[in-house]
């Protein structure tokens, strides 16, 4: 059966496309290339440039290709930007998802997998959060994602469609084979920023907030390797295809690292000392958030293979070095 991956020219979507293509799936990528890159799309899949929120065009695409499963990654993801420009996030995330769901219903799509975020839990505290924890999104980004989750649940109740929601914790790293990575130059992911700083692409990086109620005063996050996350999507798709009920699952390792700890690992892994300037807090950042992810393991049989912060950093740094050489070769696009 054919699969549509929106945002498949981006970071997490691109890695999931690799996972699906490696498994022999028939994949169509739909991306408007706002933050994605066509060169990053695997040669084994079809690419269509377009907007996931264009209901009429997407309905036609789904019908023409007989697509029965959608994996929806397209959207905006920068928390501070969402605070400054909430309407962008309610348009790119909530409204686009609403229109895509309508197209899915129109075309008789059976499975819809949505990329959500641990930010829906809000200021969670030091204890790991499970899927049944209270939801208290703090930022427009988190609210836009939660609204999309709610729409999916309502539509699945009213129509013949099953959904899976994966709430990501902090995604990092790159494909172990060097085929893909986080390629957006101004991405805000901590490990990417630290690797760029180590390579001299940034004069310095910033540590936002050192007065949180955590052991070293900086934010604690659960970092998950992007390839493990991609595998969770493939497993979730198979679960739904096999008749599994709609579900929502966390994707994390269940262990957190502080910003200072991550910066230390990057310095050690690269052998490069760089400036990490301590500054004030960013709007919308919880002090700590760590996953309780037993459901993905028990229901999907998900067994992470890259649960190691040093490995995550090594793969991310290797990708940044590759991008340096790639950016020096205009013929590669």
Residues forming the active site = 141
Distance CA 45, CA 21 (A): 7
- Give the distance, in angstroms, between the CA of residue 17 and the centroid of all CA atoms in the same chain: 13
**Quick one: the chain helix, strand, coil %, rounded to 5?**
45, 20, 40
Pairing of strands 220-221, 257-258: antiparallel
Residue with tokens 């049989």: 301
CA 26-76-22 angle, 5° bins: 20
Alpha helical stretches, state H, 66-218: 79-84, 86-89, 96-106, 140-158, 190-198
Exposure string over 266-277, b if 16+ CB within 10 A, otherwise e:
bbebbeeebebe
């Amino acid at each position: 059966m054919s699969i549509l991956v929106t945002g498949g020219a981006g970071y997490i979507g691109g890695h999931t496309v690799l996972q699906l293509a490696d498994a022999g799936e028939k994949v169509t990528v739909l991306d408007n290339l706002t933050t994605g890159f066509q060169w990053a799309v695997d040669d084994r899949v079809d690419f269509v440039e377009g907007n996931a929120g264009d209901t009429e065009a997407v309905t036609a695409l789904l019908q023409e290709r007989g697509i029965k499963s959608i994996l929806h990654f397209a959207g905006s993801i920068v928390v501070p930007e969402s605070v400054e420009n909430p309407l962008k996030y309610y348009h790119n995330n909530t409204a686009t998802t609403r229109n895509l769901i309508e197209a899915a219903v129109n075309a008789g799509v059976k499975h819809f997998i949505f990329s959500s975020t641990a930010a829906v839990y809000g200021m969670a505290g030091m204890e790991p959060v499970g899927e049944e924890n209270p939801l208290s999104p703090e930022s427009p980004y988190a609210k836009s994602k939660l609204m999309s989750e709610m729409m999916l649940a309502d539509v699945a109740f009213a129509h013949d469609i099953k959904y899976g929601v994966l709430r990501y914790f902090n995604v990092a790293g790159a494909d172990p084979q060097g085929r893909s990575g986080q390629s957006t130059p101004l991405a805000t992911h901590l490990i990417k920023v630290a690797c760029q700083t180590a390579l001299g692409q940034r004069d310095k990086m910033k540590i936002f907030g050192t007065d949180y109620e955590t052991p070293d005063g900086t934010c604690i996050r659960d970092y998950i390797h992007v390839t493990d996350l991609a595998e969770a999507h493939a497993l979730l798709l198979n679960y739904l295809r096999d008749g599994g009920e709609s579900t929502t699952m966390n994707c994390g390792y269940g262990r957190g690292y502080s910003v200072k700890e991550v910066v230390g690992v990057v310095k050690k892994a690269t052998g490069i000392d760089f400036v990490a300037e301590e500054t004030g807090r960013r709007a919308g950042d919880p002090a700590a958030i760590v996953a309780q992810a037993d459901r993905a393991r028990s229901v999907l049989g998900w067994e992470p293979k890259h649960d190691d912060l040093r490995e995550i950093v090594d793969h991310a740094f290797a990708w940044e070095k590759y991008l340096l050489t790639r950016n020096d070769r205009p013929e590669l696009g």
